[in-house]
Chains A and B, each alone.
Chain A
Amino acid sequence: MRPLDLTEKDPSKKVTIYLDGKPYEAYEGEKFPVAMLANGVYWLTTSSEGRHRGAFTFGPVPVTVNGVKNINGRKLKVTDGMRIERQTYTDFQEQVEIDEGKPVLQYVVDVAVIGAGPAGLGVIKEIGGRLTTALIEEKGWLGGDLKLKGVKQEGFGDPKEALEELTELPENTRVFLGTAALGVFDKGEYFLVPAVRDDQLIEIMAKRVVLATGAVDSIMLFENNDYPGVFRRADALEVINVWGVAPGKKVAVVGAFPEEITAELDRWGIEYVVVPNPKRVEGDDRVERLIDWNGNSYEVDAVIMADGRIPDINPVTQAGGKLRFKRGYYMPVLNSQHRIRDGIYVAGSAVSIKPHYANYLEGRLVGAYLLQEFGFEAEPCVYEEKLKEYEPIARPLPRLPLDELSGEDVQICGCGVTLKKVDDVVKSGITDLQIIKRLTHLAMGFCQGRYCLFNGALLTSQRSGTPMDRLDIPVARPPIKNVKMKVVAGRD
Chain B
Amino acid sequence: MPTRELPEKSEITIIGGGIVGVTIAHELAKRGEEVTVIEKRFIGSGSTFRCGTGIRQQFNDEANVQVMKRSVELWKRYSEEYGFPFEQTGYLFLLYDDEEVETFKRNIAIQNRFGVPTRLITPEEAKEIVPLLDISEVIAASWNPTDGKADPFHSTTKFALHAEEFGARLVEYTEVKDFIIKNGEIKGLKTTRGTIKTGIVINATNAWAKLINAMAGIGVKIPIEPYKHQAVITQPIKKGSIKPMVISFKYGHAYLTQTAHGGVVGGVGYELGPTYDLNPTYEFLREVSYYFTKIIPALRELLILRTWAGYYAKTPDSNPAIGKIEELSDYYIAAGFSGHGFMMAPAVAEMVADIITKGKTDLPVEWYDPYRFERGELRGQALQMG
Contacts and interface: CB of A to CB of B under 8 A. Distances in A.
B302 A92 contact: yes
Nearest to B173: A432
A486 B301 contact: yes
A70 B301 contact: yes
B304 A488 contact: yes
A485 B289 contact: yes
Given A90-B262, A478-B285, A488-B285, A48 B300 contact: no
A398 to B, nearest CB: 27
A439 B238 CA distance: 21
Interface range on chain B (Cβ under 8 Å from partner): 35 or more
Contacts of A482: 235, 303-305
Contacts of A415: 236
B172 to A, nearest CB: 9
A48 B282 contact: no
Interface stretch (A4-12, A94-102, A122-130, A164-172): A94-102
Contacts of B49: 434, 438
A432 B3 CA distance: 12
Chain A interface, >50% SS class: loop
Contacts of B280: 477-478
A432 B49 CA distance: 13
Contacts of B234: 485
Interface string A449-485: 0000000000000000000000000000111001111
A308 interface: no
A267 interface: no
B113 interface: no
B237 A92 contact: yes
A438 B238 contact: no
A243 interface: no
A60 B306 CA distance: 15
Nearest to B3: A429
Contact of B303 (A185, A434, A483): A483
A52 to B, nearest CB: 18
B235 A448 contact: no
Interface in A124-146: none
A93 B297 CA distance: 10
A90 B306 contact: no
Contact of B298 (A95, A435, A448, A490): A95
19 contacts: A48-B236, A89-B235, A91-B237, A92-B237, A93-B301, A96-B298, A96-B301, A98-B300, A182-B282, A446-B303, A477-B306, A479-B285, A479-B304, A482-B305, A483-B303, A486-B301, A488-B289, A489-B292, A489-B293
Interface of B: 1-2, 42, 45, 49, 131-132, 153, 233-239, 241, 261-262, 279-282, 285-286, 289-290, 292-293, 297-308
Interface of A: 48, 60, 70, 89-96, 98, 182-183, 185, 192, 194, 320, 415, 429-430, 432, 434-435, 438-439, 441, 444-446, 448, 477-479, 482-491
Q: Which 5 A-B pairs have the closest CB atoms?
A: A486-B300, A489-B289, A482-B303, A488-B289, A92-B237
